[in-house]
Structure 1
Amino acid sequence: MVDVPVGQLWLVENLYLRVPAPAVTSYCGPGARRTTTGNGRTIEKYSNPYAPEDTIAGHLKFALKNEPIDSAIMAAAMRAIDPGVIEQMVRAEPTGAFSRRAWFLYEFFTGKTLNLTDAPVVQYTKALNPELNVGSVGINSVRHRVTNNMLGVPGFCVTVRLSSAIKRYQAEGIDEQVLELVQDCDATVLARAVNFLYTKETKSSYEIEHERATGQKAERFVKALRQTASFNPSSDQDLVDLQNKIVDPRYAAKGFRDFQNFVGETIGYREKVHFVCPRPEDLPSMMKDWASMSERLKGCDDAVAAAAAISFSFVFLHPFEDGNGRIHRFLIHHVLSREGFTPDDILFPISAAIVRNQKSYDAALESVSGPTMGLIEWEMNRAQQVVVTNDTSTLYRYFDATELVEYLYEKISETIRIDFKEELDFVSIYDTAYNAVRDVIDMPDRRASMFVNFYLQNNGSISKRKREMFEELTDDDIKDLEAAIRDALNPEAAADEDDKVPEPGL
């Protein structure tokens, strides 16, 4: 005997579903129960006693009982399953948790009402098992006696497995770590550090797309970041206005695109296509449902999961010709702020963490775009335009976002440990050095600031080339200023020097 697929994998294979394979695949066969993980995939091996009844109902029940739900698979399966199958499940077990969950998911994803009377008064069960999936704020469905904790709405819904990495990040309490940093920090130092972080995030966000944020371009993006509280992602006009602020005016959009676009690169005279975006005729309804998902995820159990779901799905939709990536990263900040994950008026320069290792960013995007591309049928016409030849609308509406959430958690943790803390430390060091300079020579603010920056950039001295910029200072002045900064930044060493007793005869 050999191991045979069960659960969601069985549904994919036997219902001929055009969806990416589940990240968790289950098999039954001889031998002991075991779990194998690697490369973002998990294989669950069950012994024969776990084998479900070899029917749609049997494998659906197995999936609901044992596996983290994949919205792409469940949405496609419910559309393919004969409604009589679900009706029979519910009539056979009208109070059963798994039959009621199957019933709820069928009506949720298909929009059809089954020929069933409302469920009897029994304890509510959650649509997503909180031990296997990250859930949103619960809304009770009286008809099914099921608590709807789906990460989205019927027309746009992602799922996130409660992986070991996500559990670990949740247990670390990253948001609480930030509060401790903020509470222990001088208010003036914090305000100045945050000012720099806004600029750093702006420059890094543009750098990811190999652009420079300078002058008015940078100012517009910083201003947008500071106004995330008033931004409404479910407003088409807010999205268009944001796009207009952060791109060259020549590429400002009046609305969502009405043409086919793709993500790629030009190699010679040919285009290399990395990802094909939704067809323009599908985009209006997708954006409407995406907006509804954004509203639905308010108060989500996991703010980082909500930020990843909303922001990454936006970049896959690619509703504009230009600015999609920057808006995607803006949405991360908006949702984290909206959900209270980041303190008021604070920003984590996540783009700076992305820039340090852009390959990992690309890998996170490809965890969804890669499997999706394999299901898109497209061709390039003579005008070097992509033409999609099959129905792809559901591919962008439902997907497993687990790796995206893990990635975002990693970048948030990194930017708090490195960028946020380093900037707080730098401002404190800078202020100490600046005050030391002004105590020695009453230099104009701009000149003193320049001196300190050059000193810190050159690891404790003014280089010969930069020395020429301070013609008004003598060499002794320079030495005195350098010594004052050193003593201020390392007062213990300075005190030790003062306490030294001269040797006899000196």
Structure 2
Amino acid sequence: MSMLERRVGQNALYHNLELEVIPPPAESWCGPTSRKTIIEGRRIIEKYPLVYAPSDTVAGHLKFALKHETLDMGVIAATMRAADPNELEKWVESEPTGAFSRRAWFLYEWFTGKNLNLPDASSGNYVDALNPKLNIGSHGTNLPRYRVVDNMLGVSGMCFTVKPSQAIGRYRTSALNERAQEIVNSARPEVLERAIQYLFTKETKSSFEIEHEEATAQKAERFVAALKSTASFEPSSFDDLIQLQNVIVDRRYAATAFRDFQNFVGETIGPDQEKVHFICPKPEDIQELMRDWGAMCHRLRGMSDPVIASAVVAFAFVYLHPFEDGNGRIHRFLIHNILSREGFTPPNFLFPISAAIVRDVRGYDRTLESLSTPVMERTAWAWDKEYNIIVKNDTDHLFRYFDATEHVEFTYAKIEDTVQKDLREEIDYITLFDAALKALNRAIDMPNRQASLFVRLFMQQGGISKKKRELFKELSDEEVGRLSAVVRDAITDTGHANDDNVEAEDKGPGW
């Protein structure tokens, strides 16, 4: 930046107060410039003309942030703990009905748990703590002391930033849950029942695949049962969490409580060599962090946007990594739990989000790295003599407040992918399979197991290959050719009928 420009808002608070937190995602500057936004990867630079410049005080920069910026919870929480309460009191006293002064007053007391020496507000319209145009918040509660609506996205011990980005705005208006329900309603009941069973199995297999584990028949059965009983699961209940972990992991690694050891995510690259990707919170911090996580889960119940609630709850959990094993699967389970509990998912159904993640593992890793990378940059650690990781500085605050915008965008994208691909494709596949099997059975008297195998192989390969031909030695070449034509015609005719139905639905009632 030029010497004529100066930091303002959260950018100034971060540097002036020397806050030991992750920097705000957007840097604001004032100078001899026009208003413009510069995007460099994940770095956003906001430039303002000099007329926007606030007084170079904590109150001045807070007012600028409240007026113009998406509030970064890590920066705001640390600012409130570092701020001089006398300065904030003078600000409120000078602007007793001001929207920005009252919001700052609320945020100070909310994050610090300390009261400013001020009487309750007696006038001024109620104003949201988080401006909906700049921050996505939760459902609100009126607080008469400040005449402020508490719509924070969490609780004081764990709260997140979600910017109302263009991508999130598009997803929120696309009615993904309604589109899914329309697909479900259009399917024959017997087809839908089989499709749902397959999707539960697909989600289970994919969730284990992400962890580079194979879902044995017993493990898969337990995980499917857990997914199907998600409505009775309460994330804020530690007993429910521990019981779920016990269900989905090998019994030798079943936990009886949250971990009391240092956990990390890494990979073995040689004898006595580990490549560390991410270091989780210290064991002495995990109990309190999980209590705040549970309170945050409870706070977000009934939120108008269940996808946002599911994303922040699930990703916050996986960063905390409270167990030795099963954290990733529980993380993805939590997405289903909240979407189901809040009525976003059709009844007795689920979106196989893990399958969509398997198709976009790099995108998943990038999303996780949006927090894990800056956390690692601020974690001082070393190996001890027993080759255990020792964390030498305080890191718990890095997990309490972070920007979850990318996490929400990713979760929405994977739900959209499952609606457009997995749900539609599975219902279409079963419909085509049934039509082809019915046609085959009319053409030949064949054991059902062999007939099903014939149709399945044909649909997978577009025909019966020479290698698979050996599985049907009882059939002549002429019969294989004739039956292939029967299956092909049935699939083609049914597919055209489905296309016509979809086209008619798209054209609407006027056609």
Structure 2 counterpart of 1:80? 82
SS of equivalent residue, structure 1 residue 468 = helix
Question: Residue in 2 aligned with 1:62?
Answer: 64
Q: Does 2:478 match 1:473?
A: no
User: Which residue pairs with 1:188 in the alignment?
Assistant: 190
Q: 1:30-41 to 2 correspondence within 5 Å?
A: 30-41=32-43
Any idea what SS the aligned residue of 1:267 has? strand
Q: State the match for 1:358 in structure 2.
A: 361
Does the CA-based 8 Å contact 2:74-2:402 persist in structure 1? yes
CA contact (8 A) 1:348 1:415 kept: yes
Q: Which of 154, 178, 194 is residue 156 of structure 2 equivalent to?
A: 154
Aligned pairs for 1:87-236 (under 5 A) are 87-236=89-238
Structure 1 CA distance for aligned equivalents of residues 494 and 161 of structure 2: 54
User: What runs of 5+ residues in structure 2 fail to find an aligned partner?
Assistant: 497-511
Letter in 1 for 2:96: P
CA distance in 2, matches of 1:353, 1:38: 28
The aligned residue for residue 336 of structure 1 is: 339
Superposition pairs of residues 33-52 of structure 1, within 5 angstroms: 33-52=35-54
Shift of residue 449, structure 1, vs aligned partner = 1.6
- Give, as a single letter, the amino acid of the residue that structure 2 aligns with 1:452: V
1:248 to 234, 246, 250: 250
Find the partner of 1:438 among 429, 441, 465: 441
For structure 1, the residue ranges without an aligned partner over 5 or more in a row are 495-506
8 Å Cα contact 1:6/1:27 also seen in 2: yes
Match of 2:425 among 399, 417, 422: 422
Secondary structure in structure 2 of the residue aligned to 1:43: strand
For residues 128 and 263 of structure 2, the distance between their equivalents in structure 1, rounded to whole angstroms, comes to 39
Residues 95-121 of structure 1: CA distance to partner in whole angstroms, max 9, x if unpaired?
Answer: 111011001111111111221111113
TM-score by length of 2: 0.94
Q: How big is each residue's C-alpha offset from its partner over 1:442-488, in whole Å with a ceiling of 9 and x where there is no partner?
A: 333322221211111121x2223322223333334323321211121
Separation of aligned partners in 2, 1:203 and 1:25: 42
Q: 2:116 & 2:281 partners in 1: Cα distance? A: 31
Q: Secondary structure at the match of 2:274?
A: strand
Cα 1:48–1:492 shift into 2, 3 Å:
closer
Cα deviations across residues 366-391 of structure 1 (Å, max 9, x unaligned)?
A: 00111111111111112211101111
Distance 2:439 2:107 in 1: 67
| Partner SS state of residue 284, structure 2 | coil
Q: CA 1:151–1:79 in 2, change beyond 3 Å: closer, same or farther?
A: same
Q: Does 1:275 align with 2:310?
A: no
Matches of 2:247 and 2:263 in 1, distance apart? 21
The CA distance in 2 between the partners of 1:493 and 1:273, in whole Å, is 50
Query: Residue 404 of structure 2 aligns with which residue?
Result: 401
Contact 2:98-2:124 at 8 Å conserved across structures: no
Query: Secondary structure, in 3 states, of the residue corresponding to 2:335?
Result: helix
Indicate which of 373, 376, 380 corresponds to 1:377.
380
Q: Which moved more, 1:366-375 or 1:475-484?
A: 475-484
> In structure 1, what is the equivalent of residue 287 of structure 2?
284
Residue of structure 1 equivalent to 2:19: 17
Confirm or deny: 8 A CA contact 1:134 1:302 kept in the other structure.
Answer: no
Contact 1:28 1:46 in 2 (8 A): yes
Does the 8 Å CA contact 2:264/2:278 hold for their aligned counterparts? yes
Q: Is the 8 A contact 1:364 1:404 kept in 2?
A: yes
> In structure 2, how many angstroms separate the alpha carbons of the residues matched to 1:188 and 1:75?
53
Tell me whether 367-376 or 178-187 shows the greater mean CA deviation: 178-187
SS state of the match for residue 124, structure 2?
Answer: coil
In 2, distance between residues paired with 1:122 and 1:446?
A: 74
Aligned to 1:297, which of 284, 297, 300? 300
Secondary structure of the corresponding residue to residue 387 of structure 2: coil
One-letter code of the match for 1:62?
F
- The CA deviation string for residues 279-315 of structure 1, in whole angstroms up to 9 with x for no partner, is 1111111111101101111122322111110000000
Cα distance in 1 for partners of 2:66, 2:276 equals: 37
C-alpha distance in 1 between matches for 2:489 and 2:277: 55
2:241 to 239, 253, 257: 239
| Identical residues among aligned pairs (%) | 57
Residues 492 and 446 of structure 1: is their aligned pair in 2 closer, same or farther, counting only changes over 3 Å? closer
Preserved contact between residue 223 and residue 248 of structure 2 (Cα < 8 Å): yes
> How far apart are 1:173 and its partner, in Å?
2.1
Instruction: State the 1:354 CA deviation.
Output: 1.0
The counterpart of 1:53, out of the listed 31, 51, 55, is: 55
Using the TM superposition, name which of 51-60 and 468-477 deviates more.
Answer: 468-477
Q: Distance in 2 between matches of 1:202 and 1:286?
A: 28
Cα distance in 1 for residues equivalent to 2:83 and 2:396: 19
Distance 1:99 1:442 in 2: 82
In 1, Cα distance between equivalents of 2:123 and 2:343: 36
Whole-angstrom CA distance in 2 between matches of 1:223 and 1:122: 53
Q: Is the 8 A contact 1:271 1:384 kept in 2?
A: no
Q: 1:78 to 1:232 in 2, by over 3 A?
A: same
Q: State the distance in 2 between where 1:462 and 1:105 align.
A: 67
SS at match of 1:287: helix
Corresponding residue number in structure 2 for 1:499: none
Q: Write the distance in 2 (CA, Å) between the matches of 1:445 and 1:231.
A: 40
1:477-503 CA distances to partner (integer Å, 9 max, x unpaired)? Answer: 323321211121223999xxxxxxxxx
Q: Which amino acid aligns with 2:210?
A: I
Give the one of 326, 330, 350 matched to 1:327: 330
Q: What RMSD in Å do the two structures reach over aligned CA positions?
A: 1.6
> In structure 1, the residue corresponding to 2:234 is in which secondary structure?
coil
Deviates more, 1:32-41 or 1:423-432: 32-41
Change (3 A) 1:493 1:65: closer
- TM-score, normalised by the number of residues in structure 1: 0.95
Instruction: Name the SS for the 2:351 alignment partner.
Output: coil
Name the SS for the 2:27 alignment partner: strand
The amino acid that maps onto 2:352 is P
Identify the residue that residue 263 of structure 1 maps to in structure 2.
265
The code of the aligned residue for 1:410 comes to: A
Contact 1:440 1:480 in 2 (8 A): no
User: CA-to-partner distance for each residue in 1:221-277, whole Å, 9 max, x for gaps?
Assistant: 111111110111011111111111111111111111011111111111211111111
2:235 aligned counterpart, secondary structure: coil
Query: Could you tell me how far 1:420 is from its partner in structure 2?
Result: 1.5
For 2:43 and 2:311, how far apart are their aligned partners in 1? 20
**In 2 relative to 1, CA 383–492 (structure 1 residues): closer, same or farther, beyond 3 Å?**
closer
SS of 1:490's equivalent in the other structure is: helix
